[in-house]
Amino acid sequence: MRRLLLPFLVAAVAFATVAALPAAPRPAAAAPDRGHEVTYDRYSLKVDGERVFLWSGEFHYFRLPSQQLWRDVLEKIRAAGFTGVSLYFNWAYHSPAPGQYDFSGVRDVDRLLDLTEELGLYTVVRPGPYINAEASGGGFPAWLKQVPGRARSSAPGYTEAYHEWLDHINPIIARHQVTRGGSVIAYNVENEYAANTDAAYMQDLQDTARAAGIDVPITHNQCCDASWTPTWASGLGAVQIPGVDDYPQSFECQTPEVWGPWGEGVTERLSENAPVYGAEYQAGAIDLHRAGYEKCRELTGPAFMKYFYKSNLIASGATMHGFYMAFGGTNWGWLGQPNDVYTSYDYGAAITETRQLTEKYDEFKRQGYFVRAVAPLTRTDPADAPASANPALGTLARSNPDTRTQFVLVRHADRASTTTEDTSLDWSTPDGEYQVPVRVSGRDAKILVAGYDLGGQRLVWSSSEIMTHERIAGRDVALLYGRSGEPGATVLRYPSRPSVRVLSGSVRTSWRDGDLRLDYTHAGLARVAVSGGGRPPMLLLLGTDQTAAEFWRTDTDAGPVLVRGTELVRSARVGGSTLSLRADTAAPGEVEVFAPRSVRRLTVGGESVRVRPTTSGSLAGRLHGPAPVRLPKLSGWRYRPEAPESRPDFDDSRWTVADRTTSVSPFPPTTLPVLFAGDYGFDYGQVWYRGHFTATGTETTVDLNAITGRDGVYQVWFNGRYLGSARGGVQADSEPPVNQNPGPGSFRLPALAPGERGVISVLVENLGHNDDWTADDNRFKQPRGLVGASLPGSTATVRWRLQGAHRERADPVRGPLNTGGLYGERHGWHLPEAGGSWAAPRPPGPGVSWYRTDFRLDLPRDQDVPLGLRFDGTGPYRVQIYLNGWQVGRHTADLGPQREFVLPAGLLRERGANTLALAVTALDEAAWSPPRLVVQANHWTGRR
């Protein structure tokens, strides 16, 4: 049975009688005491009764450890036309140990929510507790593995733990709700909770949120489609707005030409009373097969976006969308889940890890501006679609029951087809019957609109797509577009014949029975001025995909502004006769502004720009680009070898004794004592083990097992002599096929005399913790570190001790995921202030070698120059990279694929002194060439 909705939500089910304009995200800096009412019905969310089209991009603050760059990326997301962002909150990122929580610095999510508020972006918050997200433990802190009771269930141990998290995060979220003047418009509980479910737990998450003052609608993101049950649409644990995650294009980046192998990608309606919600719609991919993220970007590029996003919009009528990811970011430190991802979480997203805008960004902009501008889209029902004369092209339609505006999707009937097809639609529009010619070239899709009050104009139909339109300086400025070289036609209706001037481009006009018809081929940017005819004047801009994407729309107190040119318009302000833009350029170029009447002058980035009026009624001028930048060469490297732990005389008397005989882990230890690192409080990064024994003389090998996560290794020494390395295991399966021998390694010992003392030293990588996608402790609670150790043929007892980064001693600034248990890390060699004696560099040998250097930067203040660290060498080694003490990446020179690592501004002092420290773990003798600094992009910017 459906749960009763809160009273105010019941009231909201009676939908509006006229389609209101979609509420633009709440204006910046609304008084915090001025709350707004958030309601919804089967069509859309509403704020104060106004329909909202939620078009949000996913952003992981924890993958961008720099507050100043949060603003940069959020401004870019907003500029693409997104009306919101979707944010996971990562429990592990904030909690090093039970009872310990940190929301300061790069973990200051209160500040993050201030920012979304300031930028007028609605926020869907997703605090889990489980988030998946290819994060270590799926966002669960590693300490949770020691808590008895199945995670993601109502087991008491887990319940106590997640309450602790929610008690910290919910109050922060609560005060940022739209209902209190903030940006949070919906609250997502759990994550793709579809296997091993427990309804009481799902219900408790919601009750807990409500008790903390969460009063915005609660949502959930169902895995994959409604065939996964429960959908949480009804019964105990039901949410108000059940959503669906859709990844139709799969994660096979190595074959970017694949086309929807995981289905049609149409978001299903799970509830009759709530809007259709594409909670996570694919907007990139995990690079599972290490093909490189450019391939993932290709796999999920503009053709995919056109076909699938538009099909989804018209097939489902969804008005709530979360695109995963808008910006992926970086798995810095030990943040990443160990088996699927590496340092970069670029994701092939529209905004790259280096914060650059791609052609996917342009496609988001074209679609995002459309859904934002065309209000009737917030309330549509399925409608009869006009028949297509050419059966190769199929149609699908929706219409708004109030305005009768029609939206017709045209695309290949066979979605794999790549042919170019022409058709004529037999279209019964609200304004009459028409034959509408349309061309579709290959994997494309178009949403054509008919019967639409476009500002003060009446659009009868167009075979061009609408990007946006605004009333600026008393006229309607409309931007329509199509693929370059394709024919287009637009029909507008007037009470009397208007006067038409084609200002640029080639456009044929004809007039018949009140219809002004324009015919053209999409090429460059055509401009048509229409006046008279009983309507306000209009400037019609007819662009191609490319020229349309050159436009930016932004709001000012004096009204909206359209800008053509620049790389990015972040914001605009009108003061008197001056329009001030915060914009970026990559090269010198033209800028053109369509601004309120009062505007006569233009400044960009605080600099005055000479402008001239154009025949289009705009102002045009030229902007300069960024100055070239020169980077220092990294030199003066110093070196320090470590791994004293491998020496027999090393003093480990203060290390933790491995003395446990039982574990919470579902994986039974193959030997005793329990050696699982987490059972002794060592959760992240490398762990050292030292095993002491007195030989019986029968020893031949030491046999070990370790679980490290995919591609992890461990290294073994005996009495200071390097015995070699082995691949760690991914997991030990407790279900068939049973694998009780994960990450095996057998290492030959020298002949030992009876009574001879021996010390085995083992350095084990821990690349992170398994996720809990299936809500199954057998997977999530897999241990890390050594899981078995024996001396076959010997009765000698080995006394083990271990050492690592203890959860009670996490770096208070950089957080629990920054450092592991290397000797150098334990002694602060990665920190800028590290002292000690460092020598001239030598090549790395088996074990760990540290290299350090300092460099000064003096990047221009008004330029945004993302810098990277580039490694050219390959070899049997792995490098942990510390920038000013922050572990920004891990270069696996033996495996790849990543060679360039982002040095994020904020952690990087763009004007000042920086320290780089590299911990190189070599499996063998290695030739090594130090990395170099590289410029990843260069913009003159209004960022600051």
Q: Which is nearer to ligand GAL, 452 or 780 (CB)?
A: 780
Minimum CB separation of residue 35 from ligand GAL in Å reads 30
Q: What is the DSSP letter of 540?
A: E
For the chain, first and last CA: distance in Å?
53
Is the omega angle on the peptide bond into residue 792 within 30 degrees of 0, that is, cis? Answer: no
Query: Residues 72, 268, 280, 476: which binds ligand GAL (CB under 6 A)?
Result: 280
Q: Are 516 and 531 in contact, with CB atoms under 8 Å apart?
A: no
Please answer whether residues 543 and 564 qualify as being in contact, where contact means their C-beta atoms are separated by less than 8 angstroms.
no
Cα separation, 620 vs 624, whole angstroms: 14
- Binding part of the chain for ligand GAL, among 125-133, 502-510, 543-551, 790-798 by CB under 6 A, reads 125-133
Rounded to an integer, what distance in angstroms lies between the CA atom of residue 195 and that of residue 21?
A: 40
Catalytic residue among 58, 75, 192, 421: 192
109 close to 103: Cβ distance less than 8 angstroms: yes
| Residue 899 · residue 662 · CB < 8 Å | no
What is the spatial distance between Cα 348 and Cα 343, in angstroms, rounded to a whole number? Answer: 14
**286 near ligand GAL (CB under 6 A):** yes
Smallest distance from ligand GAL to CB 239, Å: 15
Contact status: 134 vs ligand GAL (CB under 6 A) = yes
Q: Locate 817 and state its tokens.
A: 């995921």
d(CA 288, CA 252): 7
Which is closer to ligand GAL, CB of 220 or CB of 306? 220
Residue 474 Cα distances to 455, 468, 559, angstroms: 11, 16, 11
Catalytic residue, chosen from 252, 280, 465, 910, is 280
Q: Which of 69, 74, 133, 173 binds ligand GAL (CB under 6 A)?
A: 133
Question: Is 192 one of the catalytic residues?
Answer: yes
Single out the residue of 479, 405, 404, 409 nearest to residue 438, CA to CA. 409
Residue closer to ligand GAL, measured from CB, 126 or 150: 126
Tell me how far, at minimum, the Cβ of 75 lies from ligand GAL, in Å: 24
What is the DSSP code string of 127-181? --S---TTBGGGG--GGGGGSSS-TTTT-HHHHHHHHHHHHHHHHHHHTTBGGGT
To ligand GAL, the closest distance from the beta carbon of 44 in angstroms equals 23
Select 245 or 584, whichever has its Cβ closest to ligand GAL. Answer: 245
Distance CA 871, CA 855 (A): 17
User: Which distant-in-sequence residues (6+ apart) come within 8 Å of 737 by Cβ?
Assistant: none
Applying CB under 6 A, which part among 127-135, 268-276, 864-872, 905-913 lies near ligand GAL?
Answer: 127-135
Q: How far apart are CA 93 and CA 100, in angstroms?
A: 11
Task: Let me know if 699 is a catalytic residue.
Answer: no
Mask for 186-215, x = binds ligand GAL (CB under 6 A) = -----xx-----------------------
Of the listed pieces 130-138, 162-170, 326-334, 383-391, which binds ligand GAL according to CB under 6 A? 130-138
Touching ligand GAL, residues 137-196 (CB under 6 A): 191-192
**Which one, 318 or 377, has the nearer CB to ligand GAL?**
318
Give the shortest CB-245-to-ligand GAL separation in angstroms.
Answer: 5
Select 745 or 768, whichever has its Cβ closest to ligand GAL.
Answer: 768
Cβ–Cβ contacts within 10 Å for residue 34, how many? 9
Q: At what angle do helices 156-174 and 199-211 cross, to 10 degrees?
A: 30
Output 283 or 916, the one with its CB closest to ligand GAL: 283
Sign of CA dihedral 836, 842, 846, 849: positive
Query: Segment near ligand GAL (CB under 6 A), from 129-137, 252-260, 718-726, 918-926?
Result: 129-137
Task: Using CB under 6 A, count the residues that bind ligand GAL.
Answer: 9
**By rule CB under 6 A, what string of x and - marks binding of each residue 240-259 to ligand GAL?**
-----x--------------
Binding segment (CB under 6 A) for ligand GAL, from list 132-140, 315-323, 362-370, 624-632: 132-140
- Write the CB contacts of 205 (distance below 8 Å, at least 6 apart in sequence): 129, 162, 166, 189, 190
Compute CA 127 distance to the chain's CA centroid, rounded to the nearest angstrom: 15
The minimum distance between CB 261 and ligand GAL, in angstroms, equals 15
- Look up residue 72 and give its DSSP letter: H
Residue 666 Cβ, how far from ligand GAL at the closest point, in Å? Answer: 23
- In angstroms, give the least distance from the CB of 278 to ligand GAL: 12
Q: Does 75 bind ligand GAL (CB under 6 A)?
A: no
Contact positions with ligand GAL (CB under 6 A) in 436-495: none
- What are the DSSP E strand ranges found in 533-618? 538-544, 551-556, 559-564, 568-575, 578-584, 589-594, 601-604, 607-609, 611-613
Using an 8 Å Cβ cutoff, are 145 and 158 in contact?
Answer: no
Minimum CB distance to ligand GAL, residue 62 (Å): 13
Residue least distant from ligand GAL (Cβ)? 132
Q: Work out whether 349 is an interface residue with ligand GAL (CB under 6 A).
A: no
Residues in Cβ contact with 854 at an 8 Å cutoff, skipping those fewer than 6 apart: 636, 913, 914, 915, 916
d(CA 574, CA 561): 10
Window 687 to 716, contacts with ligand GAL (CB under 6 A): none
Q: Does 132 bind ligand GAL (CB under 6 A)?
A: yes
Q: At its nearest, how many Å lie between ligand GAL and the CB of residue 334?
A: 18
For the bound state, the minimum distance from the C-beta of residue 10 to ligand GAL, rounded and expressed in Å, comes to 30
Considering the rule CB under 6 A, would residue 770 count as an interface residue with ligand GAL?
Answer: no
Q: Of 124 and 133, which CB lies nearer to ligand GAL in the complex structure?
A: 133
Query: In this complex, which beta carbon is closest to ligand GAL, that of residue 252 or of residue 645?
Result: 252
Binding mask 617-656 for ligand GAL (x = CB under 6 A): ----------------------------------------
| Cβ distance to ligand GAL smaller for residue 305 or 695 | 305
Do residues 472 and 596 touch, judged by C-beta distance below 8 A?
A: yes
Nearer to ligand GAL, 249 or 863 (CB): 249
State the nearest-atom distance from the C-beta of 285 to ligand GAL, in Å: 7
Nearer to ligand GAL, 132 or 300 (CB): 132
Candidate ranges 131-139, 140-148, 357-365, 373-381; the one touching ligand GAL (CB under 6 A): 131-139
- With tokens 């105010």, the residue in question is 8
Q: Which is nearer to ligand GAL, 280 or 545 (CB)?
A: 280
Dihedral angle at the C-alpha atoms of 425, 428, 430, 433, nearest 10 degrees? Answer: 90
Rounded-to-integer distance, Cα 885 and Cα 827, Å: 12
Helix (H) or strand (E) holding 468: strand 465-472
For the beta carbon of residue 842, count every other beta carbon within 10 angstroms: 11
Contacts of 508 (CB under 8 A, 6+ apart): 518, 519, 520
Residue 440 Cβ, how far from ligand GAL at the closest point, in Å? 30
Q: Site residues (CB under 6 A) for ligand GAL?
A: 131-134, 191-192, 245, 280, 286
Residues labelled as active-site residues: 192, 280
